[in-house]
Structure 1
Amino acid sequence: MEPVFKYIFALIVGIMFIIFFIGFAYNYIGTEENKMSLLLTKSFDDQLNILSIAQDSVMNYDFGAETALSFNQGALRSGSQNSRKTDNIVYSPVNLKGKELIIWTKKWDMPYAVTNFFYMTNKNYKYVLIYDRTSKDFVDLISDPKEEIPEVFKVVTYDADKLREQFNDVRSSYSSFTKVKFIYFSEQPSNSLVNSLENINNAEVISIIPGDDSWQFGTIDFQADKEAMYIGQPMLLGAIFVDDYSNYLFNLEKKALPKLKEITEVYINKASFMSSALQCQEYGLINTQLQYLYNLNEESEPEEFVKTANNLENINKEHFGSECPGVF
């Protein structure tokens, strides 16, 4: 029995060595993948930081190979385990997979520069802007590459009435995309059209309802009784590219509004210092408006943000000269 025992023992030891080396190799591969994922998300976030100095810029970001990225609740992720918190405000699909990524950045002014918004997507997503008689001029404006959304995004526009007539053709022509997003611009969106579009398998539908004729503030209707305000055109554009209500709301309440408060506080302190140093009464007027803007929050009406920002811009232009320099 002793030789048999030796063979069995040797076999067990051999199996244990094999298991050890397989486990070591697997852990090594996993560790290297994690390192690469962390490196990728860091370098990508660094690229966004570089782009953030631009007022309005667009680029194709080439990863060099098929890459999966996710953007969710203020975190960048590549792979299944690692995520990186980012200070940048990103409006995009949650999951993007491909070799290239389209990145567009715009400055959000209120009226001074607050931060940059980043809009991202790839060729697997399609964006359809729907207009009616109340919104045609505005949709024509923002869909014009010379004015707003860059040509590389390949957005298309449809008259709401014609879309009803061509519904089946539209549904079949966009069936190959990962998602087609219909953005309905209207003072009174048609519920029947929205319901029809929602029945398309790969479709998402939102409605953008303006607060006034300027379209500078208003409401984003994500359907299913989920609504959020938008403040300024750059935030409206974010609703076009963001994946869902929760990410839009996160960007609004956890990113954009706190950043606005932070920058506004800087100008409050600056105005107070200039008032003391230069003895100009006009600084009291602008400080009152700055304090009002600082105290606005996610419960405030979007009109109040835009109205106060416009007041600040007018005061800064009209009441300050060489002896009393403007605050911003």
Structure 2
Amino acid sequence: MAVRGAWTMMLDEVSAPDVWSDAIPLAGWQRSRLDARYGACETASLIVQPGMRLAVTRYRARRDLLELSDRRAHPGALTLSYTLAGCSTYHGEGGRLLFREGEWLASRACQPVGHRRFQAGESVVQVRLAVDDTVWQRYAGAVSEPALAGATVALGRAAMTPRAREHARAVAQQCLLDTPDVLALHGRALDMLTAALHEVGGREPGARPSAVCQAELGRSLIHSLQARIAQRLDLDALCRELGLGRTRLRLLCAQQWGQSPRELLHGLRMRHARECLANGVGVAATAQRVGYAHAANFSTAYRRYHGHPPVRRAH
């Protein structure tokens, strides 16, 4: 333990969890808690799609804490932070960020080594959406690294709109569940990213004018597919709803997810099925909820996707 002024640094106990870890399960939260002697401090993170992850931090420290944050393995990532309660700061190489209750902040850190500071007795609740370069550049174009190298950059800050607050609160509430509704969280994450692109998309060096449009199309597609989870996929009807031709629809899916529309829907169905089973829904009922008339066909598809047969969790 080392002391820097009024701040206590405990690098072993107070180290920010790596929200980019590939070990995070797709259908559940990975949780990290500090030792109870430092207060009630927890961070949970969840993959909503490859390269896009949600994290929820709830801290009430008993003493002033200095938390190590090292993201050098994933430089340049965009982070959208929504502070529902309290105040904290981030001190990184080349910049300082202030997170205040009721505000959202979009930031990038090309060499993200720094520290988060939490005041003793301050209750902090923060929701973050982390988007890696692959996803961000898909929407907003190439990033000029020399312009950002070594810096922590705030790209946008504003008071949370009622809709943004609703999304952040819903994510924080889902964090309390062992088996979250990943489909709903995926939709909210896309909504949050779309709103951020409206605010900061044009400020990135090399940003494409179509960035917001692409994000909105992706969000609309996910919402449309979610509404069709229990139905046979009619590509023509889906195209009419989205205002796209079949070729444009396939290109959109390939660019954003590397899949066809049917493959994307199949993945949504299989993840939703896992959530249903985890919540105690029977195999036959789950099959119907995800569009299978016969439980045997559903079981075969589920085994191929997840690597094990569907089993209802007893409650």
Scaled by the length of structure 1, the TM-score of the pair is 0.27
Q: Which structure has the greater CA radius of gyration?
A: 1
Please identify which structure carries the higher helix content: 1
Scaled by the length of structure 2, the TM-score of the pair is 0.28
